[in-house]
Structure 1
Amino acid sequence: MCEHGFPAPVPGCLGYNDPEYSFSHEEYAELKVTSPMFGVDCEMCLTSTKQLELTSISVIDEKGKLVYHTLVKPQNPIINYLTKYSGITEKMLRNVTKTLKDVHNDLRNILPPDAILVGHSLNSDLRAMKMMHPYVIDSSLIYNLTHCRKRRSSLKLLTKMFLKKDIQMNEAGHDPSEDARASLELVQLKLKNDLAFGDVIQGAKIIQNEQEVNVDSEKQDDMYKGNHSFSTSVEGSPHVYAFSIFQLANNMSLALVATPAGIKHYEEVFAKATQSLPHVEVVAGNKQVSQKAAQLTLEKDFIVLHMKMDTSLKKCGSPESQKAVLEKLDKRLSRIFSCAPVRSLITFVFTGSALDVPLKERSNGILMCCIKSQN
């Protein structure tokens, strides 16, 4: 939460030891399967402090019902109503007396102590609310089309792509109730699917007119204006959205070492290569893969080696057989490590289950990496 700008009672985070920030409750309850979600969206105006202050807030329950909406009088004079985006005008706030403190009191009465707050760029809303809450889901983070967590996609685009709905069509400004409901529906859709759903960083594939695309944040509005058909595919897909790391390693000597079965996974990479291909070694088995890779560490700048476990640990009949499998693997990995030059970056990837394995039966992958020191 700190990394993504959420207020939190942690040193270095927004709200830490700041008297202007308050908690949504004095005490919280442990989360359960039945803990309710509430969609939240705020509109802000620019005040004399050159800060955005809360002027409107809506809260939606899981059924899409509006449970709270109010206009709010900022603490400081407004210098720009930002009407194009906020929908707030001077006339709307002329007789408003509700303060931020009043909003805090209202929310404490509405939200249970195990409430999960949902929103799009929810960190900005909580910042405007001057409120800290421990349980959040941000639709701008659990969906990603750009391969970068800091480049978030707009709620308007995500709603169009995944919910097949048009929002924010009113030229008079955003409706916080509409935005809160859209964000909540996106989260509910994600929960019905998979961790990777709608997130290219987790392995989702975005399809536009039967062609895979990478959605650049600068082009999202242009894509939205076009008459395109979007869908996503993760479960059961033979491959995921990816690019070749070989094509990013410019001016480096490259090598690929794999078994005959392993090399088949790279045929598509080679077919789409736009630069010279890496040095390729196809060897008989995993032992030979580790031996050849160890030999190449002094000759090549970048080496990819592909091994496949002969037997999964889950299928090993006893602790002794599991130990034997791991000792064999450790010997092969140690061979590569010992031959690598000092200051080599060494990374081992254990992929875990494929995406076509049912979610409850999947096993996690592991990534291990280190830089070899002089010691």
Structure 2
Amino acid sequence: MLNEVTTTLKDVQDDFLKLVNQETILVGHSLENDLLALKISHKLVIDTAVLYKHPRGGSYKTALRILAKKFLSREIQQSGAGHDSIEDARAALELALLKIKNGPDFGSPPSFTRKKLLSTLGECGKTSSMIDDISIVKRYSSETSNAFPVCSDDEALLKAKKEAKNERTHFIWTQFSELNSFYEKQVEDAENLNGKLAEMLSLLTCEKKSVNKKGIHCGMTTELKDVITRLNRRIRGLYAALPTNTMLIICTGHGDTAIVRKLRKMLGDQSETKMSRESILKVLEELQAQAEVALCFLGLKN
């Protein structure tokens, strides 16, 4: 891709400094990534990744395409050929102007005191059962709920099927965690992680990507297929055990949160890897955008 390119980093820096002086205000999204790549420090910036707080707070950042869709009613970054820098810049500028026009609270997630779901159900006279790892049960169960600590997905399934037959129980919570455990195990394998990161980076930078593709999706291994097959079997088994007129709600994510946490830790610890910091940031941005998307499926047992 860069075989015939003669422009150097110094050339780009010189062109940049012709347009930007100490009094110039830079507007963008996650500008630290761009400035890091340019090896330039600049004090006056408006960063929409910071202006628009992530609902989870802390170091989390909402992807530009999500902000554009939510506040500008516009789909961006839909091309398979990579980001359009002009499109991204315009979106960031419009988001910044919206914030300036509507005040600092515009676009901020609502602040409220979270209340345990099971406590709310108890206050409404509903009996609930929580079936999960002991740490989750201790954290989220309430005084009025039934608590069932379990050690495996199969045990969780058995408990859930049993509770489903209890006519006095109105709400059952359980979690199948084998898939998440699989992802956690994968990121601790350095060789596997480096291979996966290289594959993701190649998918992001490949010139021949189809315009219909969105995001990066690596191939599925046999081991992962087996995990998903078992997950599917458990969900089907749980659904089959439900009495009629029962609603089944399945909540899950769209991305691999384990690798997102790992990459953040690598950047924070400045761990040595076969990939450059810029490449890791590029992959992390895409993975984080995927991980921010939640999926919810509802079904009513007839």
- The verdict on a shared fold, with TM-score over 0.5 as the criterion, is no
Q: Which has the higher contact order (CA 8 A, sep 6+)?
A: 2
Could you tell me the TM-score, scaled by structure 2's length? 0.38
Q: TM-score, normalised by structure 1?
A: 0.31
**Higher Rg:** 1
